[in-house]
Amino acid sequence: MALYGVCRFVDYQCGYWTSPAADLHYFLYSSLSPDLMDQHHILLQEYYKYLTETLSALGYRGSQPTLAELQRQLQERGPYAVLMCCAILPIFLPERKDIPIKNVLKEEVVFHLSEEYKEIMKKLLPMFEEKGWL
């Protein structure tokens, strides 16, 4: 599967120094379409390829992370991926009736998990369990 295009992320909302694994988990578990949810390994390889190419092009002389190191960091920060799925993903995949802003601004908001969210979680929860993130 070939991936085309270039994405650049600048997140001014959560500015702090951390492993790229945190940003990757945020992206992978809050922004992917359901058909890409099980393609993390391909996206990670693409990310790593462009990360190392960009660091080299910029003349970075420090040590560059290996793909294995990046994968280790992702594993260590796995619970953050679970947090993204439980706290952020439902907001990005609401029931259609919950979308109008007037519904969100009510004092007593009842938030319903969408069927799309439930289907994604049916795929992800066993994977999270297998990885020891739950």
Contact call for residues 37 and 124 (beta carbons, < 8 A): yes
Instruction: Using a cut of 0.85, tell me whether the model's pTM lies above it.
Output: no
45 pLDDT band, cuts 50/70/90, is very high
How many domains would you assign to the chain? 1
20 pLDDT band, cuts 50/70/90, is confident
Contact call for residues 114 and 99 (beta carbons, < 8 A): no
Dist CA 93 CA 56 (whole Å): 38
Residue 4: inside a domain, yes or no?
A: no
Residue 122: inside a domain, yes or no?
A: yes
Contact call for residues 70 and 22 (beta carbons, < 8 A): no
10 pLDDT band, cuts 50/70/90, is low
36 pLDDT band, cuts 50/70/90, is confident
Task: Provide the domain limits for residue 33.
Answer: 20-131
Torsion of CA 77, 81, 83, 86, to 10 degrees: -160
pLDDT at 79: 93
* Residue 6, pLDDT above cutoff 60: no
